[in-house]
Amino acid sequence: MINVTKTYLPSKEKLLEKIDRIYKKGWVTNNGELTLELQERLEEFLGVKNLLLVSNGTLALQIAYKVLGVKGEAITSPFSFVATTSSMVWEGIKPKFVDIDKDTLNINIDNIERSINKNISAIVPVHVFGNPCEIEEIQSIASKNNLKVIYDASHCFNGKFNEESILSFGDISTLSFHATKIFHTIEGGALVIRDDEVYERAKLMINFGIAGVDSIKTLGVNCKINEFQSAMGLCVLDEYEEINSKRKRVYHRYYEKLRSSNKVTLQERNPKGSLNYSYFPVLFKTEEALLKLQRILKEKGINGRRYFYPSLNTLEYLKYEKMIISEDVSKRVFCLPLYDSLDMKVVDEIIWDIESI
């Protein structure tokens, strides 16, 4: 079976060496040496400061809302993974959807300012498929209206914007290190926090608010990453350049063959941003064409993914607001299989099937 992605498993020998370290120390959680090492190495590798590891990317968003005091409503995109919205609702924040740009698939900045009202406290854009939003314009709108900016950067590991880490922008950027991601810790995530004082408060929040022995300084929860997750992360990071190089090869095979296709269109990339080869989405002309390809591939044991589907403004637990472009795009977008060990013969077969429908 060929799925849209495949979890990368690093050298078993290297992983067992790190697990041996855990057994020798007998320290499995609560900021052990592997977690501290991973945090330091990620900050250096990504070129950021104040990176805080947590147990998953959804909790990273929830901590971001809490530590920045986001309340009332927050402007966000309806075209994203459900966690972007569900994390808000879980924290009692009402998502105020703004429709997307039909070409970039990111939130349409022309619609942001007109959606601001007295209840809006933050903007939560998504760098969709790792494609940077219009960061400078979003920051200008936020500054003008005294709003926080939290980027859902789950797809943006090692992404760049104007040669800087894309994680450096906004008040907080959040990452997912789920097993399906290009870099993973099995489950996991992170926050990258601009302000030092906010970072220190977030560190307390993810550990019950505990500041030290017999000292609880603030309200908190438990969303720490553990040593076994960190061991996996360190091993994957050691091999990241090789993973990325192989994914790049697959990505560019798709790109070269499909960029001039009359069957699908490709996401318009921000020229100020870099590629990290996490996803390869294509947009069909109709939902029927997408479903036809999906059936053809499934018969061959190949699974792409309708990613993202459905448009989040249609979720049953929300009051429906029409989002014409997001609803249309979500019905026509399909992510093709992309991972480091994907056979190029399979890539070529998928391309042939697209062109033949």
Host H or E run for residue 130: none
Q: What is the CATH number of the domain that holds 176?
A: 3.40.640.10
Is the domain of 205 the same as that of 74?
yes
Task: Give tens-digit pLDDT for 87-128.
Answer: 999 999 999 999 999 999 999 999 999 999 999 999 999 999
Q: Is the pLDDT of residue 197 over 90?
A: yes
* C-alpha closest to that of 95 among 76, 67, 113: 76
- Is 7 contained in some domain? no
- Considering the domain architecture, whether residues 219 and 126 belong to the same structural domain is answered as yes
3-state secondary structure at position 220: coil
Q: Which of 172, 204, 238 is the last residue of a domain?
A: 238
133-156 pLDDT, tens digit each: 999 999 999 999 999 999 999 999
Q: Are residues 195 and 248 in the same domain?
A: no
The residue range of the domain holding 164 is 12-238
Beta bridge partners of 149: 123
Alpha-helix residue ranges (DSSP H) falling in 188-337:
196-205, 227-238, 240-258, 287-299, 324-332
For the chain, the average pLDDT equals: 97
Say what percent of the chain tops pLDDT 90.
99
Cα 20 from chain centroid (whole Å)? 31
**Token pair listed for 90:** 């879980």
- The answer to the question of residue 6 being in a domain is no
Residues near 11 by beta carbon (within 8 Å), at least 6 away in sequence: 235, 238, 239
Q: Which of 238, 263, 283 is the last residue of a domain?
A: 238
Closest CA to 51 of 202, 272, 219, 185: 202
**What token pair was written down for 185?**
């810790």
CATH code for the domain of 287: 3.90.1150.10
What sign for the dihedral angle of Cα 97, 103, 48, 15? Answer: positive
Q: What confidence score (pLDDT) does residue 269 get?
A: 97
How many domains, in total, are found in the chain? Answer: 2
Residue-level pLDDT at 212 = 84
Inter-residue contact 61 to 148 (CB < 8 Å): no
Which of the listed residues 238, 273, 295 is the one where a domain comes to its end?
Answer: 238
Q: Is the pLDDT of residue 356 over 90?
A: yes
Mean pLDDT of 321-344: 98
Residues 251 and 283 in one domain: yes
Q: Let me know whether 53 and 155 are in one domain.
A: yes
